[in-house]
Structures are given as C-alpha cells and as structure tokens.
C-alpha cells in the first residue's frame, strides 16, 4: 500500500515506521525542515535546546517504547534521571546521600506530622496501583490473580473519586495536596476532572530519585525516567531515517491542504502547491479540529465523531525561555529538572489558563538543563538553561509577540532566586511563545501535550468515519506524552491494517 502521512511528528513517524517495516510505501509530509514536530530542536547563537519533551518513560529495551524501537533496530542511548520539587514552604529534593526508596514519605511525615495517617494511606494506595500495573503485564496464574485481587481491594474504595476528592479525604493541608496534585497543572487539568488512580502514575516515586531501584525480585517493576543522550530529537530522527531506508520519502517544507475523499474513502492528499499525492491510506495528526474541519471536511464525519471533536479539550500552550549561559548553573540546582511551584491553588491556576490570563511564573515554572545529557548543545565552557511555564494559547490582554520580552525578563528574575547571577551570564536567548508553537505544529490553537486527561472524556479515535483515514498523535490520546503517542500510533497502525484486511483488500505485507 501507499500511505500518505500528514505530519512527521512522533505520531506520524511511529505509524510510518510500522508501515515501512511491513513493506508499505510511506510518504511523510511536513511543513517543517526537520522531522519531529515539537521534538525537533530549537537553536540560537551556537546553542541547541529541546522545545518538547524533557524526561521520558518506557525507553529501556525491556519496556514498551524501547522494545518497539529495538524491534526496528533502533537503539538509543539513554540515561536515568530524576526531578526536584520545590514549593514556597518546603523542598522535596533528593538527599545528597541516598536514604532509600521511602525518603519522600518520611520527609512528608516530618513536614506534616498531623497528616501521618493520610500519608500512609496514600502510599498504601500507591503501592497497590504499582502492583496492579506490574501484574497486568505478567502471566495470569492463580497466585498473580490473588495478588491482583488484593491490590484491587486496596484501591477499590477510591475508584469513583477524582484527585480532588481523594486528596481532600486523605489530607487536610492544601500544601500536602499540592505535592500530589500539582503536576496536573502540567496537563492543564483541574484536580476535579481527573480520576484519582492517575496520581501514582504522574507522581511515580522513581521519578524523584534516580537511585530508587526500578526492579523487584529481578524484574522491572516501576517505570524509570530517562533522557535520550544527545537530545530527544534523536528519536524522531531515527524513526525518519528508518522510514527513508525502507523505501519511504520525506517531503519537508510541504503543507498538506486537503485530504482527498472519494466515495467515503481517503484516496490521497492535495498539497498547498496544488500537487496531488494519491494514496491507499491517509494518516493525519496535529490538531484534531483543524485536521477534520479544514483538511477533511466535517461533512464526511458522523454525528458521534463530530461530537467528540466538539467536546474534547486539548491542553493549552507553553511559554519557553531558552538561555545560553557562560556559567555552570548546576552548582545551584543539582538536578537537570526542577519544578518550582508558586501557588497552592491548582484550581485557580487552571481557571486562569483557560481564561487567557498568564500567571507570569507566579503559579510555578520549571528550570531545566538540557546539555546535562546532551553536552554538544552548548559551546565549550557554556551551558543551556530552559525556563518554562504552561500558559494560555491566547492572551486575554495583548499578544505574545509584543509582551514576550517582558515575560521573559520576569521569568529570569524569578529563576535568579535559585540560580543567583543568572542575568549576568546570558550569552544567548531564545523565547518560544504559543504563537511560535502554533507555527511549529501547524495548529490554530497551540496545545502542548494533547488532550487534557479528563475522566471519561473521549478523544478522537484512530479509525475515523472516512475509510482509510487514520488519526494519530497527541490529540488522539489522553494526557499525551512520548510513550503514549508512540504506542498509540503503533496500535492505530495495527487497527488500520486489520480494518483494511477485514474489507478484503488483500493481505497487507508484514506480521500484523
């Protein structure tokens, strides 16, 4: 089959790699020079920066993403790392000397002695969900079934609770609630919208100290957080190279303007320059609303798909400030990545995001050192610092372009509390606003990570009402993220090939 893939971001590339592996002819179409979408690098004054994912899970070759890549012969060097968490009143930064896997629990008990009972219950709940995660990937068997049942009974009383209800039930102090709910702001989600079973997985203890073992009894048990050595762009570059080595093509600087539909079936793509590419299957990604309203045409959708498109909520944008500096900032922040929360009011922060009010760093920001795992990103003697916040796609007052310098200066001032003297060491500066992200991703509304993980929300399904038209990428996934987008696209490919076969269009090549 000939498969036209609109968008060479992670979703399109992962789908394309599966298709290329199975002998299909893949044509990647992307408006950018390089593959990767938000995983491509930003560059300024001799420095490089990651403008998308920072720290990733599932990259080991005995985990799902690493295993998939290895099956294609792609082996990326990765390094395990962790992140710190800082609030206006206390820090949860890994101790210099390793204090065991429970150090955060003990530290929280010291900080909040009146909340000991709730803290212990949280970690019982955490352990049970980690056990369920592990056992779900194991062989069935009676013993495992019993272990699963025991773990399930531990979490069952909470299964109908949102993160807000759950943390309010366990903890009376809002500062403690923020330790677990704060990360939801990254997903632009209110604690009232997300099921509480999500909490352990977005707050995995192994993410907060790289010395915590990920194995139990010789088996991989907990997820581990890793960086790709040399930068995250190595992943899309490797997938793109794989496709090109397998008879594929990459049309860079090329905009797809229309999906060609004939008799309810996708038959190709019309490019902005008027050329038409005929194909047996078309894959789209990026903004679901833009793709279906503008490239496909809503008239081809059924009521159900239209409703999903109308109702699902994509995340908002990010404001990123990339700095090249001539000092070593890791003397002040030990970890490559630290979250600095500025407010305990998650609900208020999310309201602001959704109503176009930018908090200008006051609700929180991240400081990240990308060259720690990609030394070539900075010239000798220099380093990279990325400071970023979530933000509304459009500002209620003013626009990003005219206010970005002011916002960047404000973030530098805030960051100087942790990296003293920062402003005197800046030798390169690149500001990336929601407007830049819109251009980079070809979206009308920048949405940095896919669909907000709202409980029971349905996101646009991979198989669409138009035959041979598939939708992949962050906006077909809840919560987004590299492993979810990549594995989602692999699943989409398998479903698409199965649907194609079921129609009796002949055996597709390959093992699916």
Contact of 130 with 199, CB cutoff 8 Å: no
Pick the closer one to ligand FAD by CB: 155 or 470: 470
Pick from 229, 496, 201: nearest CA to 375:
229
Options 33-41, 84-92, 108-116, 500-508: segment touching ligand FAD (CB under 6 A): 33-41
Question: Does residue 54 touch ligand FAD according to CB under 6 A?
Answer: yes
Pick the closer one to ligand FAD by CB: 21 or 442: 442
Pick the closer one to ligand FAD by CB: 118 or 364: 364
Contact of 172 with 115, CB cutoff 8 Å: yes
Pick the closer one to ligand FAD by CB: 315 or 349: 315
Q: Where are the alpha helices (DSSP H) in 196-275?
A: 199-202, 234-245
Beta pairing, strands 25-29 & 249-251: parallel
CA 96 from centre of chain: 29
Residues 11-30 that bind ligand FAD (CB under 6 A): 11-12, 29-30
CB of residue 468 vs ligand FAD: minimum separation in angstroms? 18
Residues 401-430: x where in contact with ligand FAD by CB under 6 A, - otherwise, as a string? ------------------------------
Long-range contacts of 196-201 (CB under 8 A, 24+ apart): 196/158, 196/161, 196/162, 196/163, 196/165, 196/166, 196/167, 197/129, 197/155, 197/158, 197/159, 198/163, 198/453, 198/479, 199/126, 199/163, 199/166, 199/167, 200/125, 200/126, 200/129, 200/130, 201/129, 201/133
Question: Does residue 56 touch ligand FAD according to CB under 6 A?
Answer: yes
Q: How far apart are CA 281 and CA 28, in angstroms?
A: 12
Three-state DSSP class for residue 78? strand
User: 10 Å Cβ neighbour count for 87?
Assistant: 20
List 268, 286, 324, 364, residue binding ligand FAD (CB under 6 A): 286
Residues 293-322 that bind ligand FAD (CB under 6 A): 295, 318
Question: Does residue 479 touch ligand FAD according to CB under 6 A?
Answer: no
Pick from 82, 171, 464, 480: nearest CA to 309:
464
**Residue 369 token pair:** 């050192």
Contact of 317 with 371, CB cutoff 8 Å: no
Pick the closer one to ligand FAD by CB: 39 or 350: 39
DSSP letter for 295, please: I
CB of residue 145 vs ligand FAD: minimum separation in angstroms? 32
CB of residue 363 vs ligand FAD: minimum separation in angstroms? 16
List 1, 55, 128, 408, residue binding ligand FAD (CB under 6 A): 55
User: 10 Å Cβ neighbour count for 253?
Assistant: 9
List 17, 28, 38, 385, residue binding ligand FAD (CB under 6 A): 38
Options 71-79, 94-102, 169-177, 473-481: segment touching ligand FAD (CB under 6 A): 473-481
Options 32-40, 126-134, 137-145, 198-206: segment touching ligand FAD (CB under 6 A): 32-40
List 17, 21, 26, 31, residue binding ligand FAD (CB under 6 A): 31
Beta pairing, strands 426-432 & 2-6: unpaired
List 16, 37, 200, 479, residue binding ligand FAD (CB under 6 A): 37
Question: Does residue 448 touch ligand FAD according to CB under 6 A?
Answer: yes
Q: How far apart are CA 72 and CA 197, in angstroms?
A: 33
Question: Does residue 488 touch ligand FAD according to CB under 6 A?
Answer: no
Options 65-73, 241-249, 479-487, 493-501: segment touching ligand FAD (CB under 6 A): 479-487
Under the rule (CB under 6 A), what is the footprint of ligand FAD?
Answer: 6-12, 29-32, 37-39, 52-56, 255-256, 285-286, 295, 318, 441-442, 448-450, 473-474, 480-482, 485
């Amino acid at each position: 089959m000939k498969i036209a893939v609109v968008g060479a971001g992670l979703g399109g590339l992962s789908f394309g790699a599966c298709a290329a592996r199975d002998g299909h002819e893949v044509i990647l179409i992307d408006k950018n020079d390089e593959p990767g979408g938000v995983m491509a690098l930003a560059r300024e004054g001799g420095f490089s920066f990651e403008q998308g994912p920072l720290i990733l899970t599932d990259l080991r070759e005995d985990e799902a993403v690493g295993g998939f890549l290895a099956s294609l012969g792609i082996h990326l060097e990765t390094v395990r790392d962790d992140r710190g968490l800082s609030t206006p009143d206390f820090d949860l930064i890994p101790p210099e000397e390793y204090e065991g896997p429970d150090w955060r629990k003990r530290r929280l008990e010291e900080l909040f002695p009146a909340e000991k009972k709730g803290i212990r219950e949280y970690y019982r709940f955490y352990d049970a969900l980690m056990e369920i995660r592990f056992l779900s990937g194991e062989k069935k068997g009676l013993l495992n079934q019993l272990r699963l049942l025991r773990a399930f009974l531990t979490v069952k009383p909470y299964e109908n609770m949102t993160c807000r209800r759950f943390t309010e039930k366990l903890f009376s102090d809002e500062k403690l609630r923020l330790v677990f709910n704060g990360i939801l702001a990254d997903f632009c989600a209110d604690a009232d919208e997300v099921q509480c079973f999500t909490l352990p997985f977005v707050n995995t203890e192994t993410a907060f100290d790289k010395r915590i073992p990920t194995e139990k009894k010789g088996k991989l048990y907990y997820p581990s957080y890793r960086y790709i050595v040399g930068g995250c762009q190595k992943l899309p570059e490797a997938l793109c190279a794989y496709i090109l080595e397998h008879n594929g093509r990459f049309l860079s600087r090329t905009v797809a303007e229309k999906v060609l539909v004939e008799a309810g079936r996708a038959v190709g793509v019309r490019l902005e320059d008027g050329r038409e590419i005929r194909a047996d299957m078309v894959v789209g990604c990026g903004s679901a609303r833009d793709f279906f309203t503008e490239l496909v045409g809503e008239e081809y959708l059924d009521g159900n798909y239209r409703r999903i498109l109308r109702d699902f909520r994509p995340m908002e944008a990010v404001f990123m400030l990339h700095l090249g500096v001539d000092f070593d900032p890791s003397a002040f922040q030990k970890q490559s990545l630290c979250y600095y929360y500025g407010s305990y009011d998650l609900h208020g922060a999310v309201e602001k995001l959704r109503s176009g009010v930018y908090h200008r760093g006051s609700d929180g920001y991240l400081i990240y050192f990308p060259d720690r795992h990609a030394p070539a990103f900075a010239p000798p003697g220099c380093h990279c610092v990325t400071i970023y916040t979530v933000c509304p796609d459009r500002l209620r007052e003013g626009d990003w372009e005219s206010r970005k310098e002011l916002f960047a200066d404000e973030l530098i001032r805030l960051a100087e509390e942790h990296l003293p003297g920062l402003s005197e060491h800046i030798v390169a500066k690149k500001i990336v606003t929601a407007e830049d992200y819109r251009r980079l991703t070809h979206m009308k509304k920048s949405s940095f990570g896919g669909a907000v993980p709202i409980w029971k929300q349905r996101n646009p399904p991979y198989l669409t009402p138009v035959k041979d038209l598939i939708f992949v990428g962050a906006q077909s996934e809840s919560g987004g993220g590299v492993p979810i987008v990549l594995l989602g696209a692999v699943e989409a490919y398998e479903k698409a090939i199965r649907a194609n076969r079921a129609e009796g269009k002949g055996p597709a090549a390959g093992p699916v």
